[in-house]
Amino acid sequence: MLALGLYKRGLLKSVPRVRFNSSSSSASGTTPFSWADYFQLKKQNNRINFVSGIFTGIGGSLLTLGYLGNIEIDVEKPIMGFDPIMVMGGAVILGGFAGYLVGPFIGQFVFQVMNKSRLRQYDAKNSFFLSRLKNKRPDPSSQSFSNPIPDYYGERIYSLKDYRQWLRDCNAFRRKAKEFL
C-alpha cells in the first residue's frame, strides 16, 4: 500500500510486484517447501514414531520381566485368584504395551531434532492440511456397517494422490449417506 501511494505521488517509477503463492521461496533464501516435501516428512515422522514404539515396547517388557524376575513369589499361592505365572506374563505384556505407548513421544523428539531446519514449515503445512481435512471430512453420524466413514483423521494420506482418493471416498460416502437415508 505504501508503494502504491508513493507511485501515485510520482515518487516511484513503478510499483514493485509481490507474489503470494506457496511455491515461492521465503525471504531467508531457503528452498521452497512443497506438498511432496510435507508428505515425505509426514511419512518419515510416522515411521520414526512406529520404530521407536517398537523399541520402547521391547524395553518396557524387558524392564518388567527384569523386575518380576527379582522379586520372590510363591508359585503355589494364587494372586487375586489367578495363577502367579499368568499374572506375571500379563504384567510383562502390560509393561511392553506401556513402553509402546511411550515410544511416539521419543520418536517425536527424534523427528524434531532430525528436521530442525524445516520444522516450522512442516508445522505450518500440517496445520493447514489438518484444517483442510476438518473442512472436507463428512459427517460421521450417518455411517453404518455397510457404509463406513473413510479415514476420519486422514492418517493414511501420504501423497497428493492419496489425498485426492480420500476426497473421492468422502464424496462417495456423502452420496451413499444421502441416497440411503
79: β partners: 82
φ, ψ dihedrals at 13, nearest 5°: -80, -30
Residue 154 Ramachandran class (φ > 0 left, ψ -120 to 50 alpha, else beta): left
CB within 8 Å of 140: residues ≥ 6 apart: 149, 152
- Specify the pLDDT at position 12: 53
Evaluate if residue 108 carries a pLDDT over 80: yes
DSSP secondary structure letter of residue 76: T
| Percentage of the chain lying above the pLDDT 90 cut | 60
DSSP secondary structure letter of residue 157: -
Q: Compute CA distances 70 → 58, 65, 82, whole Å.
A: 18, 9, 20
Binning pLDDT at 50, 70 and 90, where does residue 5 land?
Answer: low
The C-alpha atoms of residue 117 and residue 61 are separated, in whole angstroms, by 35
Q: Compute CA distances 162 → 50, 56, 72, 156, 172, whole Å.
A: 20, 30, 54, 8, 15
Mean predicted confidence (pLDDT) in 130-159: 90
**Three-state secondary-structure class, residue 79:** strand
- Specify the pLDDT at position 15: 47
CA angle 102, 108, 113 (to 5 degrees): 135
Task: Give the burial class of 3: count Cβ atoms within 10 A of its Cβ; 0-12 exposed, 13-18 middle, 19 or more buried.
Answer: middle
Amino acid, single-letter form, for residue 133? L
Q: pTM of the predicted model, to two decimals?
A: 0.74
| 18 against 159, higher pLDDT | 159
Give residue-wise pLDDT tens across range 10-65: 555 554 454 435 444 445 556 789 999 999 999 999 999 999 999 999 999 999 99
| 21 against 155, higher pLDDT | 155
